[in-house]
Each structure stands twice: as structure tokens, then as C-alpha cells.
Structure 1
Amino acid sequence: MTRILLILFLFIAQCSVSQTKVGGIVLDEAGEPVSFANVLFKDSSEGTITNDNGRFYMESDNTYSTLLVSFIGYETKEINLTAKVTYDMNIVLSESSEQLDEVVVYFGKTDKKNNPAIDILKKIWAKKRKNGVHMFKQYQYDKYEKVEFDLNTIDSALMKSRVFKGLEFVFNDLDTSRITGKTYLPIFLNETFSKVYGNNETAVVKEDVLGSKNSGFSNNQAIIAFIADLYSDYDIYDNYLKFFDKSFTSPLSRTGVDTYNYVLADSAFIDNKWCYNIIFYPRRKNELTFKGDFWVNDSTFAVKNINLAVTKSANINWVKEIYIEQEFDVVNDSVFLLTRDYMLSDFSFNKKENSRGVYGKRTTVYGDYKFDQPKPNEFYRAKTDPFDPLVLNKEDEFWEANRLESLNDDEKGIYKLLDTLKTVPKFKSYYNLVSILGSGYVEIDKWNLDLGDVYSIFGYNEAEGVRLRAGARTYFGQNDPWRLQAYLAYGFGDDKFKYGISGKWLVDKKSRFIVSGGKRRDIEQLGISLTATTDVLGRSIASSSVFTVGSNDRLTNIDLSTFNLELEPVTNFRIGVGGSYRSLSSALPNAFSLDYIDPTSPTGISSEIDQFDLTTILIYTPGKKTIGNGVERRDVNDNYSTLFLSYTNGVKNFLDSDFDYKKIQFSYTQPWQVGGLGRLLSTVEIGKTYGEVPLGLLNAIPGNQTFFSVYNTFSNLDFYEFVTDTYVSAHLEHNFNGRFFSRIPFMRKWNLREIVGLRGVWGELSDENRALSAPANIPLMAPNNKIYWEYSVGVGNILKILRIDFNFRGNYLENPGARSFGVTGSFGFHF
């Protein structure tokens, strides 16, 4: 700690322009930290709240001589500041000598009744729908956004470590955070200037990106997609604010009264408008909540500015701190407009005070608001390409004219620093390692080729034994209009090579007209999804699992050729038409047979299916956001629904195809944010096959014989245990995000998360299709007597990376080898 402070003071003397900096800890008379105490520069509206451990840090461009520290149940303390920089303050609050009501207030709990802060909050609720840009028919404004990443908590040990040997020059650009007081090293900066247009009558919004610039990673859409998903837009007036796939209760929400304590702390003129200052902090630990304060106008009850900080006890991984500032311009009695939004996230492996991590900072500034200027519908449909070279290569004059907030010296230095780092071999090695782990591919720039993916190298199944796979893809840039991809695999058990090759070509960017095709010869576990595979290069986890439940021997040789056309006439609505030819045969005939009755065969039985299909697919994903304009784009959100409709026509005799049939399938997947109760994921699937087809073309209900938790499968079903030609299935999975575990005292610190699941399926199999596959050596059963169902209870976030599900079978326990109970799990890095 001493070394950190030493470095802080050195750089304060050299770089800082702030006039007053304070930091320290607030304690009670027993020496216990006082969480959520209010710390304020006297005669100002500049303040902060202590964190869970009673610590605070604050700085201002102005000079102040007195600090005020207060908390409910304690005497307010005034501290004279004798220097512009005062760290390691040890502030002890004395219990209030006033007679207070019941101990509710004494222990920091505020009354829900007869509380002036809550009376003001109710008026905010009544007015909130009348505020902002949504009061006008049309609106437009300028938007400038900068996102920065910094390596934080820099000390002498880190400077001298082997990691930075040869890179010592980077420490010339150290500074201290005005929020946390920690040293940090800027390592990435992204700037974007755009114009936003909205029409409230038709509920459409258009954002034209006119300029985009970042330091050293201009072509890395993986980073840009991560940033876009990380810092999604939010509205403080919503009941819940979504960050990192978690719903935090807003302090302005109607449910906030049950979640937060509110205190009316002060009142003052801000921009010639009388405002109230309200402090809020959580009633309970380990919930997804904030601490902070806001100033609200006394007549419009529009928030003038607000500060929110996520409490360290909140059930969120890899994020030590989240701090948000928003400023609004109260135009008149009925209109307020967002002018500045600042968000800082401190990413770290743990939440200890001195742990190192990375700051992620987003600053968004809004300006030049205009209203009620109608534009034709065609205007909103035409959008700019944010990755157009003309957008990415703007001159310095453009940025000087359009930055709504100037860069400080640290931010200006990032561009120069990254240009230098890119020439250092050691930095290139670090960057390449992170890139491989993130994308799964090894970049070979001189060949315009990526090798991988590295996560598919090793596999195992009963047909192939140990399996090794190597692959590659062309890669000229993030917006390639075409891409070729291929792999070669070898099974040491069957002593055979397998391969797959595919190509895609984006013929027209505007309509996203894509031509694709490929060929694949491999071994696959079919029947793990209700839709037949047309993925030339994909491979299911069931085909490669080292450990399985029971015999995983119902594997299929597949020889697949495809040709497809795809069009996106309207954003997020795709139309696909194509043809596929596949040959299917059992990879282990003695254990699993695809035999069917074939009068044209000399034996009357055939073991291989040759089938040509024509397929039309409609996919609608309302609310889906993507980046990039190449043949492959990246998703930047996961809160959109997916509607899928497929019509397949099997054509007999064409290319010696065996069967004539028709199949229609529909699925609807919807994620639901259920406020403070977490996230629900739901899927409904319906399908029917018309005509007689053998086992290989029927719909097997997706079983799961692996030890992995796989959504949209039935964990206690074996592969091909149920086979149908008509089916209806539903899957529900709800993650409570620790809602209930956080209220159990001895479990709070573990930050576990509760997950429950319910899934069911009904289906039937016609007598004709049963008879056709009579030679097969597995029983053909369908859940037609009653709905087959399962349920599961799980615990997630074990050691931050592990999830375990306990799966229970609801019925059909009389089936041969039926599994009534099973345990599955998964690993992953989730916030």
C-alpha cells in the first residue's frame, strides 16, 4: 500500500490538474467500517458514498477547505482540509445524541412511511413518462462516445515484473482515477461520433455512425462486439437496469422502496433550479443493487444528476466496481434531456481492495437536440456502414469539430502508445495469445489464414476412439465478403479420415444476399436437436464427449452436400432457400441400425439412406444487434427472441433420392428479464412430417447422455429413446441470480445462484413409419400416451465458474434402462 501511495503522490505532482483530492475510511466508535456514509465537500453538490468496507475516494477540479461526513444515527462530522491532497483519512463518527425513533433508523434502516425522500420518489414515478425525448413526435441529436480500457493498481512490483520487461516505457503515462484513487495505465481507446434520429409515432430509431476511431485495434470486431454488449444503453427511470446480463434494481423504480433505504439529505440551487438531494443504499447485501445519490428538481421532479455505484457484495463476478454518473438538462417544466453519461467498471479476478484489474470506462455526451422535424420512412431504413473506410479513416479535423468532450492528455497519449506497442514483439505475443483464447483461431497474417479452431482439436467417441482434428479458414479482414473454411480429422479407432469444406459469398451487402455451400463426410451424433443438421462444419458435444452415461453407440456416418441462398430484405428477417443431399448409415451397425424395408433391394432391406431435400427457412430475430458488414457478422446482445419456420420437401428419385415427404417445423425462443427475480429462457417447438420415412429421417426427441448441461435437450433421455413424426415440446429454464441464496446468512458470501428447469414433450409415430423401420434394432417409441417431462434444480456460480444441475425424470420410468435421476454440469466465465 505504501508503494502505491508513493507512486500516486509522484504522479499527482507531475500530471494532476485536480485541485482537491481526498480518500480514506469512515469508522464508528467501535472501529467498524460505516458503509454508505455520505461524504461531501462543504457548500457544494460534489460528493460520494463510502463502499461496503467504509472506504471512499473523491476528487474535484475546485478547491475546498472542508469535508462533511454524515450517516443516519451519527453526528455529522466536519473535517478541515489543510492540503489539496489528503489520503489515508481515518474518520470516526460518533453516535447521535438526539432521541431517534425505533432502532430501525439507528441501524441504517429508513422508514418506508413518513419519509420525505419517498414522498419525492412517488412524484418522480408520476412524472417520469412525461419527461425526455419521448414527448415529441420526432427527435434527433448528436452522440459522441468514447470507451477506454486501463490497467489499474500499478505498483513498483508490477513495473519490475518480467511481464513488462522491455515494455517499461508504457509506465510514462500513468494517472490516478478520480473515482477510486488508483493508478492506471491507459491501453485502449475507441471513439465514435454519430447522429441519432427517432420517430415516436412509428417507434423507429436510426443511428448513423459518421466517424469511428480506435487505438490499434481498428479491425478487431471481437473487441468492439464485446464493448457494445458490455455497455448497452439503459434508462435510470426503468424499474431494472441491465448490466453484464444481470438486472439491477433502479433506485428510481417502484420496487425500490423494498430494496433501498432513502434519505433526504440536502437541497440547493443547481443551474438556477431548486433541487433536492436524496441518498440511497441497499437494505440487504448480496443483491443486485446500487448505492449513491441523486439531485431532483422540486417542480418537474426530473432528475438533474445521479451517481450510482454497485455494492461490492452484489452477486456479480469479475467486476469489483461499477460506477455511473448521468447528467441531465432540465429544459423546462416538462422536458429534461440526457447530456452526459459516464460509466466505469473495474474488472478483477477478486474483490479485494488492492487486487489488480482493468478499468472499462464509457463516456457518452449528447448535444444539438432537435424536435418535430418529420422525415420520410425511407430515411429511417437507410443506414450508414460503421465499418466503411470513409467512416473509419476520418482526419483529425473531423474529430476536433465533432468531439462533444475534449480528450484529456492521457487519452491523447493512448494513440501514440498503441502505435509504439504494435512494433514491440513481446506485446505482439501477448496480443496474439489473448486473441487465440478469445476467438479459438491462430492468425497467420502473411497467408491471410486462421488456423483452428483450437477447441476442436481433440475428441472421443465409441466409433472413432480418439479423434484429432485440424482446420483453417481464410481471413483477410473482419468484413470479408467471402470466406472459405475446411477441416480434416482422423479417428484412431476406426482408422479413417473425415473432412469438411464450406464457402460463403456475400453477393450484395444491402440485402445481405449470401450464396453458400459445402460438403462434409464425418461421424455425428444425430438426434440431439429436432431439426436435421445442414451445418457442414459443426459438430455436437455428444459426438466428442470423453465420458458419457451408458453406451454412446448410436452414431451415424453422414455424407452431406449443401447449397443455399440467403436474403435479409428487412433487418433481422432472413429468408433462406437451399438444397441438400445426404447419405446416412450407422457408424456401429451391430449396436445401432438404420435399416428399413426397401422392396427394390435384393434382400428387401436397406441400411443406407440417400436423400435429396429442398428447404425453405424463415428466421425472425426482433431486437437482435450485430456489427460488421461482411459475410459473417457478430452478435452484440443476447436478449432477443428467435422465431424459426422451416419447410422441407424430400424429392424422391432425384439424384437417386429414396423418399418423398414433406416436413414443417416451427420454434420460438424467448429470453425474459423477470425484474429482480432473474432471467427466464423459454423455447417452444412444433413439427410434423407428412409421408413415410425411415428412422434416419424421423425426429428423435433430443436426449443427452453427456455429463454436460445442454439447453433444449432432455437430460434423462438416451439418444433415440423417443422417436416421432409429430411433436410439441417446451423448455423453461430460470436463473434467479442468487435472489434466495443471498437471504440465507451463512450462504451470502458464496454468491451462489439458483437455477430451475422444466421441460416436456408430446409426440406420436404413425404405424406406417413404425413398419417401415421395423428392421431397425432399437425400439421405436413415442411419448403419445402422456407428455414426457423432466425437471431440474441447479446451483450456479460455484467458485465463479461451475454449475451443477440435478435432473429428475417425471414419468416413463418403465422404459428399459430409464434414468430416473442424473447430474450434469457446465463450466463457464459468466458475470
Structure 2
Amino acid sequence: MRILITAILVLLSAGLRAQTKVGGIVVDESGAPVSFANVFFKDSSEGTITNDDGRFYLESPNTHATLVVSFVGFTTREIALDKKVTYDLKVELSEGEQLKEVVVFVGKQSKKNNPAVDLLRKVLERKRKNGVKGFDQYRYDKYEKVEFDLNTIDSSLMESKLFKGMEFIFEQMDTSRITGKTYLPIFINESFYKVHGDNKMGKEKQKLVGNKNSGFSTNQNLISFVQDLYSDYDIYKSYIKFFDKSFVSPISRVGIDTYNYALADSAYVDDKWCYNIIYYPRRKNELTFKGDFWVSDTTYAIKKINLQLTKSANINWVKEVYIEQEFDVLNDSVFLLTRDYMMSDFSLRKKEESRGIYGKRTTVYDNYVFDEEQPRSFYNEEVDRFDEQVYERDDAFWKENRLEALNKNESGIYRMLDTLKTVPKFKRLYSLGEILASGYVEIDKWDLDYGPIFSTFGYNDAEGVRIRGGGRTYFGPNDMWRLEGFGAYGFKDKKFKYGISAKWLLNREHRLIVSAGNRRDVEQIGVSLTPSNDVLGRSYASSSVFTVGSNDKLTDINLTTADVEMEPAKNFRFKVGASFRTLKSALPEAFSLDYVDPDAASGVSSQVKQMEINTSLEYTPGRKTTGYGVERRDVNDEYARLFINYGKGVSGFLESDFDYEKIQFYFRKPWSVGGFGRLYTTVEAGKTFGEVPLGLLSVVPGNQTYFSIFNTFPNLDFYEFVTDTYVSMHLEHNFNGRIFARIPLIRKLNLREIVGVRGVWGELSDENIALSQPSNMVLKAPSEKVYWEYSFGIGNIFKVFRIDFNFRGNYLNEPDARRFAVTGTFGFYF
């Protein structure tokens, strides 16, 4: 009875908010579903299209008496709506002529002599004259509302033990106007921005003026994740990017070869005569949409458009994506974007009945002003923009700047979350989620975090089974200082290891940070060409449970570091520091770091002591971060990284052994190649001036693990190649399933193809070889010719697994050369 009453209340409350709701299926005379059919309320521009299964749902705040259903090649039907809410409607279309005033095409649409394509070409010719791109300068206000909802709510979920003691949350249930499913709002975030742009300089500045959300006001990580997940896009560009994917825009020249277009209708939209064009993809399993748009007959600007993700698109964890954009007229000629709505249905499965999470973003644009010039300095990015007042705006601010009012349910989320945070069960569930996301267990009583828990166990030949425990100070995500450390024990060598570090942010404006640390541990040296002085880091190579061959080339390391860094300009970091390290073999009988030492009694030393002073520059254009404390997190990965490091070895200080100079260069850049996926590139180069032993040389990073690790060579063993001068390049391209989508037998598996090529050239001087002659290692560099490998990979296996088949290109006659290797990795990717 309680369930029935609840359901009735939901329907009644939904009926009060929306005057007309209708949902159902469209079929042809044989009963087969009709995909992409046009469904709209008569004498209005409110409409939708059917999905791949012929189903639709349409909702309007107005009262409508007639529903119109049409599709190219079928007779248009008008259905009388006797009730405000009509579900499970079945509409049968019969073949015949459609609209007399337009030309209709059936099936695959020709690109020649097609009025819809002709109209689209006129849209593309004038796209630079429409919107803010048609002015020298512009500014406007932008209000953004992001909401997450638990969807497909039914009685079994409402009565489950998971929500016991939290039943009051179901009072906020609503019905989606897009899918017709019930949903429960669980999170809302509101933002208000002032946006300025200059098309002459190609600059834009977006300033956050206010931010408010339900229950997570100080969580910049969550806020930044949401903003990156729903990044801005332009329908006039060839590709619309979100969820780290590039979808072909129907309003583009690329779209003409990707979509079918049909002219379906013409009518007045807001006193403007417009043409209605339906579009749908030519091929399955590509990153495409279906939907329709309205085009003005004078300016050929888009007046209104909707985009719905095709169900066959190769994307994980997303069942539905629906986008609406509305444009307004400026001076009877230019159309400006006024409202952008996007809804995503995140779900583990794509079945209709599966539960998931709705992610909804509504963006409203207003108060446009044009041709107000600002100096170039106005657009310079600040290093740290954080303003605490932005997150503490009062109700009066939001009443004035909220460009679209919250509905009853959205307003209720704030009250519901305030109540929910007091429920002990919710606190436990929220804490569990934070542990899985961060890897740390919060100990609020002492302002400490224990972890990372994923590093608790490991294994290598020197330590055997290894256990590790660690922690960090944590007063909040924006701490100005942080202490962090760990302790570890190996059951084979019966030795205790540890690491400790401290960081202080002395100046926020230019992010002046001082840091220091010490670490005594067992490590795999040479897993990267570019050095890292992270005293708490640990590599796959020294903790992997399963390896190819013997993983015995391990080093006991005692590392002490001290650094000062600053960020004088946005994403430009300058760092100076010093390190002192002691290196010796962790398994002397299998791996030697011995070198010639005239001052030693035996003429040979097995331990390196080295003082090194470092200066480095790092530039990461386009990098987005979250937080304003001593530690920040990246919220995107498509930015480039340019790194230059100069190191000076100083002998004599604290018995340091060697004088040398080392310069190194590193460049990494991922490239979006439109509908062809993404290319990842890395270039490294370096040279060491002076004589140094094996422990201080640049080792070409091999990979004896079963993990696919970018920037390593999976067909090389550790220390197979050693250099003092090197150049290395790695190329890896993920086609995101573009090739497999054209193979019928495997198309439905949504697999993704990855290809890679990598190579390295290096030299090693005779002096450095002679210096390490006492070692039991044979030192060789790939100086005769470039060493290279290639690989073919299959990703998205069961949506989480990737496997790579790696082939050695040359140096096949080397002792124990591995011609072929199989590696793999797990990950959750859209």
C-alpha cells in the first residue's frame, strides 16, 4: 500500500509540474520499430525523435491536444491526446507520401540534389558570421547548473536495505522529460561566470564569480571533475568532444559524409521562418548522433538543435546522451546561443531497464555586450585564481544571478542533502566511496589519512613478500603544508625501509613551495630516462608479483632531497634543488654496481655516493588543476608537457664521488585526431658530460612486467641498454574502434584498436664502459642503429581490459633477446 501511495503521489506531483506527457513506440505496418521518427506536439516546435528501438518520450509544460508523428517515406499521423499523461502509446505508420511542401528521401540519403544538404552547406558558409565569432570582442554572463540523479527508481529499490533509514529522500523523485523514467536528484552544483573574449587576439577569459552545491561546497576535486566531464563544445566545429571522445558534429563538412540528411518540415519558430532537417548516421558503431535541427531561411543560422547519442556508438558506461541548444536573434540577423541542455545516462549496462545515474547540465547565456576592447594583459591567466568568497555567496546573490530558476525538486536537493549528512549510514557509505576514490582512510580525530591502501602488499626478488603502511597529514584538500611518510618490511631480506617528506606552500600568488625528504628503500633504477627525485615514489618493476625472467637488478637507495619551486606564470614551473644519494646493489651476487676507484683499498668500490644540484623548467599549456593548497590534482590529461632538466654532480661534498654535468629534455603531447582517435607522443633526449659509473648512467627503460606501461620498451630486459647520450621516441595511436566498427562479425563487441611504434638511439663512451668494468654487467648502447619495437593492441575487452602484442624490430641476435611479449592493463574508460 505504501508503494502504491508513493507512486500515486509521484504521478500527481509530476502532473502538476508538466501539463502534457506522452510516451510510447512507433512501428511500421509489419510491427517493426521505426527509428528516428519525428514526434512533436501539433502547432509547436516542441518535439523529439524515436530511439533505435522506435521508442519516444515527450513532455511539455503546456497543454497540447494533438501529437504528430512523421517520418520520411511514411504518411504523417495525428493522434488525439485525451489525457494530460499518456504512456505506452503505440503509433503505426503506413507507407506513403509525407509533407507536400517538401521533398522527401527514403533510406540512405544522397548527398547530391538533396535540399537538406544544400541548406547545410549554406549554414557552413555563414557559420563565422553567427554567434560571438562575428564580433571583434564580446562579453556575457553564463549560469551553469549540473545535477546528478539516481534513475529507474522502482519499489524494489525503494524498499532495499541500502536505503533503510533514508526513505525520506524519495520525496524528491521526479520524471525525466526525455526518457520518461523516474529519478531521484542526489547532487546539484550551480556556477555563475563572467566571460570576456577577443577574437582578434584569440583570447577568452572565464571568471568564476559564484559557486554553490549540495553538500560538497569545499570539494574542488568534485567540482572540477564535473566541469571537465561537461566541457564546453561548439556544434559548428567538425567534432564535439566530451567524455574524452570526439563525436562527429552534424553541423560540419565531416558530417556530410557521416550522416543522412532529410528535409522534413518548415514552420515559424519564434517568429522566424525555419526549415527542419532530420539527420541520422550512415554507419553503425561510430561516435555519432541522431536528431534534428531548425535553420533560419534568411541567415542560415541554427535556431534550435537536438542531438541524441546513437545506441551503437562505441562508448562505455553511457547509455544515453541527449543535447538541446537554443539560439536567439540579435538585430534580426545574428543568432546567439541562449540555452544549452545536456543529459547523460551513466549505467553499467545499456539495457533499457538497467539503473544508472543521470548527469544533467543546463547552461544559460545572457547579457551579451560586444566590441568593448580590453588590453592583452586583461586576458593573462592568474596562477592561482581561488577566492574563498566565490563559494560563500548568499541567497541574495543567487536570486539576482541565477539566470534560470530552480524547480521544486532542485530546490529540495539542498534541504535533502543537509538532512542526509546527519544519517550515520550515509556517512559510512560516503566514507567508503572516498576511500575507493583516493586510496586513503580518513582519521578525523588526528587529522591524518592512512594509505595509500593499494600499496600495502608487493613482491620482488630482493625483499620477497613486502608489506607497507603509510599516511599523511590532512586538515583539508587545500592544506598549505603536508607531511607524508611510509614504513615497509621485506620478509626475505628482513630489513625495514622508510620514506618521509614535507612540503610547505609559502606564497600562493606564485606558488612558492619548499620541500624536503629522505627515503631508504629497494628500487628498480632505470624505469624512466627522465629522472624523478620523488622520495615516496615506487615503480611497477620493483613491486610486481609476476615478471618475465628474473627481476634481480635492484638497488638499495638512500635518497635525501631539498627543493624550492615556484610558478611565476600559469603552468610554467621553475625548480631548483639538491639531492644526495647512496646506491648499492640489493642483490650483489646477481647484479653489480662495482666501479674502478683508485682511492679504495681494493681499487674497486661497490657503493656510489653522489651529490647533485638540479635546475628544471616545466611548461604545461592547457593543464587544468584543482585545489589551491600545497598539492593540486590534474583534472585533464590532454595538455602538452615540456620539461628541461640540468644536473650538476659535485664531488668531495659529503664524500660525493663524481663531477659531471647532465642535461635532459622531455616532451609529451596527446593529439586528438578527430574521428580517428587519439595519438600519444613522447620525445626524450639527454647527454651526460663526464665519467660516471653504471649507477649514474641513463638506462633505456625496459619492462619485465606483464603491465602495458607507456614510455617503456616491453621487449627489453632491465639494463639491456645503457647510455650517456640518447634520443628516444614513443608513438601510440588509439583508433577508438573506428576500424573494428567496419567489420560486421566483431562490430558489436565495441573493441578498440591500438598501434604503437617506439625507438631509441644512444651512445656510451669507452671511458664510462671502462669505469664500470669491475661490474658483472655487460654495458652496451644502441649505437649501431636505432633500436625499435612495434605493437598491436586490442582495448575495451569486457570494457575494462586491454592486451598488447609487442614485437622486437631489431637487435634480435642479442643474448636472451625477447622477440615477442604480451602485456596488458586494466582501466575504466569511456
Task: Report if TM-score (shorter chain) is over 0.5.
Answer: yes
Where 1:775 maps in the other structure, the secondary structure is coil
- Contact 1:8-1:176 within 8 A present in 2 as well: no
Matches within 5 A, 1:110-125: 110-125=109-124
Separation in structure 1 between the aligned mates of residue 818 and residue 292 of structure 2, nearest angstrom: 54
SS at the partner of 1:745? coil
Tell me how far 1:740 sits from its aligned partner.
1.2
Structure 1 contact 738–751 (Cα < 8 Å) conserved: yes
Kept in 1, the 8 Å contact 2:643–2:667? The answer is yes
1:497 paired to 2:518: no
Query: Mind listing any 5+ residue stretches in structure 1 that lack a counterpart?
Result: none
1:745-787 deviation per Cα after TM superposition (whole angstroms, max 9, x unaligned): 1212111001111111111111111111111112111111111
Following superposition, the deviation at residue 519 of structure 1 comes to 0.8
Q: Distance in 2 between matches of 1:4 and 1:698?
A: 71
Q: Give a deviation string over 1:136-163, Cα, whole Å, max 9, x none.
A: 2322111111111111110000001111
Retained in 1: the 8 A contact 2:188–2:214? yes
Matched, 1:48 2:48: yes
Structure 1 residue 304: Cα displacement: 1.2
Q: CA RMSD in A?
A: 1.8
In structure 1, give the amino acid aligned to 2:74: Y
**Structure 2 counterpart of 1:35, one-letter code:** S
Any conservation in 1 of the 2:384–2:508 contact (CA below 8 Å)? no
Aligned to 1:35: 35
Distance in structure 1 (CA, Å) of the matches to 2:414 and 2:190: 11
Cα 1:775–1:749, aligned 2, differ >3 Å: closer, same or farther?
Answer: same
How many aligned residue pairs are there?
Answer: 825
Aligned to 1:426: 425
1:784 — aligned with what? 783
- Are positions 1:729 and 2:728 aligned together? yes
Q: Deviations over 1:517-564 (max 9, x none)?
A: 111111111111002230111111111100000001111111111111
Partner of 1:289 in structure 2? 288
State whether structure 2 residue 68 is matched by structure 1 residue 68: yes
Alignment of 1:90-129 (within 5 A): 90-96=90-96, 106=106, 108-129=107-128
SS for the counterpart of 1:13 is helix
Q: For 1:598-677, what aligned pairs fall within 5 Å after superposition?
A: 598-677=597-676
Q: Quick one: distance in 1 between partners of 2:109 and 2:173?
A: 42
Does residue 561 in structure 1 map to residue 545 in structure 2? Answer: no
**Structure 2: runs of 5+ lacking an equivalent:** none
Is the 1:610–1:657 Cα contact (8 Å) retained in structure 2? yes
Question: What code does the residue aligned with 1:537 have?
Answer: L
CA contact (8 A) 2:383 2:510 kept: no
Q: Deviations over 1:61-103 (max 9, x none)?
A: 1111111212222222221111111111112222236999xxx
Distance in 2 (CA, whole Å) between partners of 1:450 and 1:367 is 44
Cα deviation code 1:307-340 (max 9, x no counterpart)? 1111111110001011111111231465332111
Residue 250 of structure 2: aligned partner? 251
Partners of 1:206 and 1:383 within 8 A in 2:
no
Question: What is the CA–CA distance in structure 1 between the aligned matches of 2:332 and 2:43, rounded to whole Å?
Answer: 26
**CA shift for structure 1 position 14:** 2.1
C-alpha contact 1:302 1:330 (8 A) present in aligned 2: no
1:169-568 alignment runs, 5 A limit: 169-332=168-331, 335-381=334-380, 383=382, 387-568=386-567
In 1, Cα distance between equivalents of 2:397 and 2:695: 61
> One-letter code of the match for 1:658?
D
Structure 2 residue 89 is matched with structure 1 residue 89: yes
- Provide closer, same or farther for how the CA distance between residues 206 and 688 of structure 1 changes in structure 2, counting only shifts above 3 A: same
**Matched-pair contact (CA < 8 Å) for 2:277–2:293:** yes
1:759 aligns to what?
758
CA shift at 1:31, angstroms? Answer: 2.2
**TM norm structure 1:** 0.97
Equivalent position SS for 1:487: strand
Q: 1:364 to 1:65 in 2, by over 3 A?
A: same
User: SS at the partner of 2:541?
Assistant: helix
Amino acid at match of 2:419: T
Task: Tell whether the 8 Å contact from 1:211 to 1:386 is kept in structure 2 after alignment.
Answer: no
Equivalent position of 2:10 in the other structure: 11
Q: Distance in 2 between matches of 1:509 and 1:97?
A: 69
**TM-superposition CA deviations, 1:774-826 (whole Å, max 9, x none):** 11112111111111111110110000000000001101011111100011000
What's 1:807 paired with? 806
Deviations 1:366-419 (A, max 9, x none): 111112222334433375966533111111111101101111111100111110
**CA spacing shift, 1:439–1:593, aligned 2, 3 Å:** same
Task: Return the offset for 1:30.
Answer: 2.3
Q: Is the 8 A contact 1:8 1:182 kept in 2?
A: no
Higher mean Cα deviation, 385-394 or 756-765? 385-394
Matched, 1:23 2:7: no
User: Structure 1 pair 221/164, CA: closer, same or farther in 2 (3 Å)?
Assistant: same
Q: Distance in 2 between matches of 1:742 and 1:204?
A: 38
**More deviation in 621-630 or 793-802?**
621-630
TM-score with structure 2 setting the length: 0.97
CA distance in 1, matches of 2:373, 2:446: 50
Q: What SS is found at the alignment partner of 1:51?
A: coil
Aligned equivalents of 1:82, 1:46: Cα separation in 2: 18
Structure 1 pair 818–363 and aligned structure 2 pair: CA distance change class (3 A): same
Aligned partner letter, 1:43: D
Please give the alpha-carbon distance, in whole angstroms, between the structure 2 residues aligned to 1:494 and 1:532. Answer: 27
Report if aligned partners of 1:27, 1:33 keep a CA contact under 8 Å in 2: yes
Q: Which amino acid aligns with 2:488?
A: A
AA partner of residue 92 (structure 1): E
Shift of 1:736: 0.6
Q: 1:614 to 1:435 in 2, by over 3 A?
A: same
Deviates more, 1:449-458 or 1:65-74: 65-74
Deviation of the 1:6 alpha carbon: 9.4
- Between the aligned partners of 1:75 and 1:616, the Cα distance in structure 2 is 74
Q: Secondary structure at the match of 2:372?
A: coil
- Matched residue, 1:681: 680
Aligned partners of 1:66 and 1:79 also within 8 Å = yes
Tell me the CA shift for residue 203 of structure 1.
2.6
Distance in 2 of aligned mates of 1:386 and 1:688:
39
Change (3 A) 1:494 1:268: same
User: Residue 58 of structure 2 aligns with which residue?
Assistant: 58
Q: Which amino acid aligns with 1:473?
A: R
1:820 counterpart letter in structure 2: R
Q: Alignment identity in percent?
A: 68
Partner of 2:589: 590
Shift of 1:475: 1.1
In 2, Cα distance between the equivalents of 1:615 and 1:169?
59
Letter in 2 for 1:816: P
The Cα offsets for residues 161-212 of structure 1, whole Å up to 9 and x where unpaired, read as 1111111111111100111111111111111112112223333222221211
Q: 1:703 touches 1:717 (CA, 8 Å); kept in 2?
A: yes
User: SS of 2:616's equivalent?
Assistant: strand
Q: What CA deviation, in whole Å up to 9, does each residue of 1:471-502 have, x standing for no partner? A: 11111111111111111111111111111111
Secondary structure at the counterpart of residue 746 of structure 2: helix
Partner of 2:77: 77
Code of the aligned partner of 1:153? T
Q: How does 1:684-723 map to 2 (within 5 A)?
A: 684-723=683-722
Q: Secondary structure of 1:229's partner?
A: helix
Q: 1:212·1:386 contact (CA, 8 Å) conserved in 2?
A: no
Give the aligned partner of residue 166 of structure 1: 165
Structure 2 residue 582 is matched with structure 1 residue 576: no
